[in-house]
Structure 1
Amino acid sequence: MLKELDTPALVLNLDVMEKNLRRMSMLAKESGIKLRPHIKTHKSPYIALKQIEYGAAGITVAKLGEAEVMSRHGIKEILVAYPIIGEKKLERLKVLAKEVNIITSLDSVEVGEGINRVGAELGKEMQVYVEVNTGLNRVGKDQENTVELIERLAGFEYVTIKGLMTHAGQSYKTKNKEQLQEISVQEGEYLVATQRLVKEKLGIDIPEISVGSTPTSYIGHQVAGVTEMRPGTYVFNDGTLIELGLIDEKDCALTIVSTVVSKPDRNRVIVDAGSKTLSSDKGGFNQGFGLVKNKDVYVSWLSEEHGVIESMDVGANIQIGEVVEIIPNHVCPTVNLANELIGYRKGKIERFIQVEARGKNK
């Protein structure tokens, strides 16, 4: 089948994807917590609906554009895990909130003011997650400042604080499983401790404790008090998760099928998948820009339409015209570069899956 495709192409082993969905759903179920996967990995309503079919309680999106696409396909339980600010975005939020049970996230009073205004105009409460910094140092405040923020947010009539959330993205750069275990446990425990401090100081009960990232989901769900997890990459898996030792090559559902177009010398071959296909985002991966399956080599560097594989005597084992499969280092931006995924099962194409939310970055 692969040799018949026009390359480069993103192909999806549906059996492996469904196995990944079952695995994460079972982890959540066994721990008694909710699974709210992040759809930024696949940006596909078809796959989001599959995740719900396999037990997800709702979905997480990064931007309103993704939420709008998912809503059109009947998904009505959506967390927007990104601060929403600005009149145009608040108008779009208001439209969505009429049709969808939408939760937003924030780490500032300024964002809370806008959300409260939308609630007032609709005459309904707006649920929010307050984002807490657990080490990534992106958005989110520390514990003390989170308590202060919640005290101020509690004064807004139409804002209801539904949960505390975090994303321990630093987990992707851990060096070993011991380090990953430490970050995963810290992520959950810090949120639970913050929840307890809010109750002690302000008398406010916050029901949901939501942790994110695929690496920490394999461990962090075990922390007492965590009620929800939001992994994304697990649906496909990628080179970073292989390097972390969490999955094997056979667990990677999505690969890039690419053709060898040149072999300038014995130690260098060129494939037709460059940065416009593979993405130049290495994620937490330390070697190259993609693992070539069954060849034990990596894509060394990229230009826009060329992937260069440099390795001693690599040309002896890879020939011009040969079709290879590449596991991307970071699958999320890779998918965002494609219009469709070619879903196959047992060597036969079953369906073409549209990446309908690609480029929906507003």
Structure 2
Amino acid sequence: MAAVEKTPLEQDWILQRERAVAWLRVAFAVLAIAVIQLNPSRVARFPALSAFSLWSFVIYSCAVLYLAYHRRLWVGGVGAVTTALDVVWIAVIVLSTGGTRTPFFFYYSFPVITASLRWGIKGSLPVALVGVATYSVLRLTLTAESGGAPIGIDTIVVRSLYMILLAAIFGYISEFEQTQNQKLLALSRTAGQVAALQERRRIMYELHDGILQSLATLILRLEACRGRMTSVDRELDRNLREIEDLTRKSMNEIRQFLAGKETQPLVQGTLTERLRDELKFLRDGLGMRALLEIQPEDLDLPPEVEREIYYVIREGLTNVTRHSNASRVEVTLRKRNGGIEGTLADDGVGMNLSANGGEGGVGLQAMKERIEKIGGEFEIKSSPGAGTNITFIVPING
């Protein structure tokens, strides 16, 4: 069964939890050093191993804390590895500091707490049992070797029950918290979906009652104008019909958008033809000098790349006609170095990019996002009175 991908909110919660655990580990490590330093009369059973285990545990704890803040490592089996290391390290500390009255029994509660935070009861109970078994073996071994007063079995049993009860309590609390968090996340998703649906319906009504009605009125007025023409002007009549057709097409695209369908599907392999039509309108309809250079002529691009490049260039040409007051525009597409390089340059009035944070308006930002969506790079250069030059590079396979 495939693992369920966690939402950004869940990932952030896990990261915050692991950072809290990392800080707790550092606190335990520092406290262990303090216990030894504050009681110099306690002689370690293995002084060298004791010093090494205590200080290495401090270094290990600080390293995990650093990773928790600078790396997203808390996936897969990393939690299990750190929990296992905690149990082993604490066992070594207990063994090396020695004595039948070692103060480090409480330290076994740390991996129990971390396991409960990560996996609930199914994680805390096994870790508690491992800790109890390890502690019991070490205590009995130390007592036998030291020849001191034997530790009572009742003491081991009581401490074992304490550890298991602690594991059950923390595990239950952790599972309860995780269940509540899941419910909150589910409610959040539902609320987001409802809000999105309401916003979509609001936009639908606004478009239907506003723009669509205005376009319908425009068609009626165009038809009325053609009906009142006293002289036969075929060119004017053709232009009016083209405007009517374009308006109807726009209305149909809006309806498709409201229905959740693709509004302007681009047939693969028609990029060159579409661009020629766009530039032909600029030449014949607006009197601009419009140049198109494509190398090679038979561009073979992936469908998504072809579609996004067409929309980017079309938006750029629309900006030229609406804002630039240019007399010349040039579009270039070249296959080079395993990618497609494109430029769109005009000799218009240019713009002040610094006034818009270096990115221009909404249309230019949309162009940039389209290119970046297919793994490309987008750049725009412009200044008042110096025209505008847009370049992009998109990697392609083949």
TM class, shorter-chain normalised? under 0.3
Query: Which has the larger share of helix?
Result: 2
Higher relative contact order (CA 8 A, sep 6+): 1
TM-score scaled to structure 2, two decimals? Answer: 0.24
- Bigger Rg, which one: 2
